[in-house]
Amino acid sequence: MVQLKNGGYEDIVIAINPGLPEDHNIIRNIQDMVKEASTYLFNATKQRFFFKSVKIIIPLHWLSKPEYLSVKTESYDKADVIVANPYLKYGDDPYTLQYGGCGEKGQYIHFTPNFLLNDSLYNIYGSRAKVFVHEWAHLRWGVFDEYNNNAPFYVSINSGNASVEATRCSASVTGKYIVQSTTRECKYDEQTKLYEAGCKFVPDKTQNAPASIMYMQSLPSVVEFCDQSTHNEKATNMQNKMCNYRSTWEIIMNSPDFSNTSPINSSSPPFETSFSLLQSKDRVVCLVLDVSGSMAGNNRIKRLYQAAEIFLLQIIETGSWVGIVTFHSIALIKINLQQIVTENVRKDLITYLPTSAGGGTNICEGVRKGFEVIKQKYSNLYGSEIVLLTDGEDSGMSSCLTEVKNSGSIIHIIALGPSAAPELEQFSNMTGGLKFYATDTVDSNGLIDAFSGISSGSGNIYEQSIQLESTARSVAVKQWMNGTVTVDSTVGNDTFFVVTWDGITTPPDILLRDPKGKEYRTSNFTISNINLRTARLNIAGTAEVGDWLYTIQNNQTESQVISMIVTTRAASMDMPPVTVKAHMNKDTNDFPNPMVIYAEVSQGFLPVLGAIVMATVESQNGSAVELKFLDDGSGADIMKNDGIYSKYFTSFKGNGRYNLKVHIQGRSQTVRLGYRPSRALYVPGYIENGKIKMNAPRPEPSDEQIQAKLGSFNRVATGGSFVVKNVPFGGFTDVFPPCKITDLEAQFEEDKIHLSWTAPRNDLNEGQADRYIIKMSESLLDLRNTFEDATSVNTSSLVPKPAGTKESFQFKPENVTVENGTIIYFAIRAIDNASLTSEVSNIVHAALFVPPKESLPDTHSTDVINDRVNVSIIVIGAVIPVIAIGITICILYKKNRKGGFELRM
């Protein structure tokens, strides 16, 4: 984890993808980039921040060198910066993956090796050092781009005069509007009244403007972030939309980093950046399993065997080293580290899993014994992993906290049942491990899902196990459990179908049919002599692509819980599989704050759009809540079509641990790929000494290339666990307001204003609003800062519709003269039946603009407004107050009711 000490960022992790061939120029150029960026950042932040130390993770297959150290708790999956090939051919744009909203840290920065090695890209992006600072601001401070490829121009009203400007910050950056293909000056588009398609703003190479790094860091003069004095609040960019029209420097000044540091009295960083080269190693895992007396209850020891058996036979990657320790009052080594090189090694390991329980609970003794197992082979614990499972409390856990913290080992914890030690999370938090919680509700598969979620963090998605199905339910006598599992073309190797049951040892009747009609019955499944309630089928070769149908009958004399678990791996190194990452916006939540839950669905590094995402959140008492996630830019999902599906969670059932599991389903008719936002600007060219020098047009993949060729697919992923505190005993009344409206739109229709938006949910997630408050103003800042004092719009005739439907409202603004240059801003709030009020919506404006006649094509407009205005352009700018989750901007042109065009955001 990055540390900030006396202005210096320490322990930044930059990881090279294991799929890249060895090239030490990548390492050299990373070092040069960060060293130069340190000075640039120091000056841009007014002598406050610099890069002090960086760790570079080198792939395991690169030749080892004496100067390479071993990784400790660092890994590719947790790196701040990754270096990896793009999925598509055209993808060298550096970008930062941002889930959250304004001021929230991003996930990681992605550089391609070509970006780091190809010096010809300097003319397009500027120096790598400047690009790194641009992306670091995304990652660390949660600011956003000040350009907008989807809305490159906007109407600006200055001193009553209207003009079309490039979306930029600061507005003092000079240049010309050029059609890239011909280098002639741009004309206005007759329908949009903005500049024509293909028009680019080409900046002067020599500028006086020192800002901004979040717009065009490539300009030699740019050495600052836009601040309050240089910020262009009129531009229709993501920074304005996300951060309530506040400048990047204002957001940086409000960050914890800024408040915890002071300016350094020096003209240069006090330290040169230091680098550590860390090389990945074989995966080393020791299972440390609780076998105390409480594990005998609720069938826990048998469920532990089932889950750990799946981990050893199906999840842990080939080539890994695995040992097993059990503990109660004392700890025992069941088997020392064994390398998984054959299936026989896997089968031998499962014979050492515990089958009985008894005694007290000494967690520290178990962890120390796990360390001992690893040290019998390795001189230190660096980079090793402990999977710690327990269902009990231990008052002595504090005795080994320092030892665990300094060990260099990663500890993943699995808390089983309601009494598992509350201190467990400290182990994973200190070491960067995963956190899971499993209840005693057997039809949730919680324990199996926890073990299935412990994949390698190496970044090699081709070797990691992928879960296609995990479902369980109680089946009555002689009744059937039926289902379909879709195997898509990106997966199919090492595929297992596993059926478990909790009744007597006799298996249920199983029928599995592949897409070509081949049938597998109970006799084709393998049942081990030790684990008599699990039947396993390993599909030879690569599983057939398509729908696999299963039907399982409970042939016993009483009902029992039956489950189906399906795991697989990538089908080919040539095609990255669809993957899912599920997690929460925080590990610990204090009521009444809502949780935000995310599921990121991607193929390679491209988002997968159009999937159906359902989540189950299970509380400590075993009750479960089903949620449907959205990627439509409403509610918790502020960023539309980014492949990050989101939902608020507010159904708190008490204090304690909760677990998260998501099911994803894609259908071939709806699934497609998208693009990542928060990318460095591809500069079209420059004007030097009066001459236009254009770069090659930005290469864009065709629609066919980004159309996902996935067919249908299934995925299941666990999001781990989180802890909720301060929920009132006995439940709580309505404390959650309607969710914020984020897609308000406005347009003129003759002399009326037409507003539209998506009806929000009450209590953030459910129900509908009771009424709306709409405000208008001729001042953007007045509406933002003093919403209640702005002019009210009469909404007495407006009755809220059910959540998720489109609202539409039309009215004639009073005391406003509609003419060329008119601009009016609008915002809305929703109120529920408990008089709780939502946050202020995005702010939009409707503007009328008539471009100069000489700049229009030789055609005549037919629209007339009040016999005075020849043609209207409705420009919708959006402003969003500071929020806790992410948002993107989606712009498209759409014919309006009157045959004109509206610009939607």
Indicate which residues carry an active-site annotation: 135
Closest by Cα among 437, 417, 455, 433 to 577:
455
Q: Classify 222 as helix, strand or coil.
A: coil
Which amino acid would we find at residue 627?
L
Note whether 703 and 457 are within 8 A (CB).
no
Q: What letter does residue 452 receive in the DSSP assignment?
A: H
Q: Which residues pair with 774 in a beta bridge?
A: 828
* Cα gap 582→90, rounded to integer Å: 28
CA angle at 63 for the pair 61 and 64, rounded to the nearest 5°:
110
Q: Which of 253, 711, 166 is nearest to 488 (CA)?
A: 711
Show Cβ contacts of residue 766 under 8 Å, excluding neighbours closer than 6 positions: 803
Buried b (16+ CB within 10 A) or exposed e, 115-151: bbeeeebeebbbbbbbbbbbbbbbbbbbbbbbbbebb
Residue among 29, 39, 42, 23 nearest 81 (CA): 29
Residue keyed to tokens 């467990």 = 424
Q: What is d(CA 711, CA 691) in angstroms, rounded to the nearest whole number?
A: 50
How far is it, in rounded angstroms, from Cα 78 to Cα 95?
17
3-state helix/strand/coil string of 396-423: CHHHHHHHHHCCCCEEEEEEECCCCCCC
Torsion of CA 706, 709, 712, 714, to 10 degrees: -70
Tokens found for residue 553 = 């009958």
Neighbour count for residue 23 (Cβ, 10 Å):
14
Measure Cα distances from 438 to 186, 413, 722 in Å: 62, 11, 12
Q: Given the DSSP bridges, would you call strands 823-831 and 3-5 parallel, antiparallel or unpaired? A: unpaired
User: Two tokens at 769?
Assistant: 């609003």
DSSP state of 865: B
Plot region of 429 (φ>0 → left; ψ -120 to 50 → alpha; else → beta): alpha
CA 748 to chain CA centroid, nearest Å? 37
Residue in the structure block whose two tokens are 């020392």: 336
- Report how far apart the first and last C-alpha atoms of the chain are (Å, whole number): 36
> What tokens appear for 504 in the block?
């007597």
Sign of the C-alpha dihedral computed for residues 203, 206, 209 and 214 taken in this order:
positive
CA torsion, points 111, 230, 779, 771, in degrees to nearest 10?
30
Q: What is the DSSP string of 770-795?
A: SEEEEEEES-HHHHHH-GGGSEEP--
Torsion angle of the four alpha carbons 216, 219, 225, 230, in this order, in degrees rounded to the nearest 10: -90
- Beta strands of 675-790 (E only): which ranges? 685-688, 691-694, 713-725, 745-749, 752-758, 771-777
* Count of C-beta atoms within a 10 Å radius of residue 48: 18
CB 194 within 8 A of CB 150: no
Q: Are 743 and 634 in contact (CB under 8 A)?
A: yes
Is the Cβ–Cβ distance between 341 and 282 less than 8 Å?
no
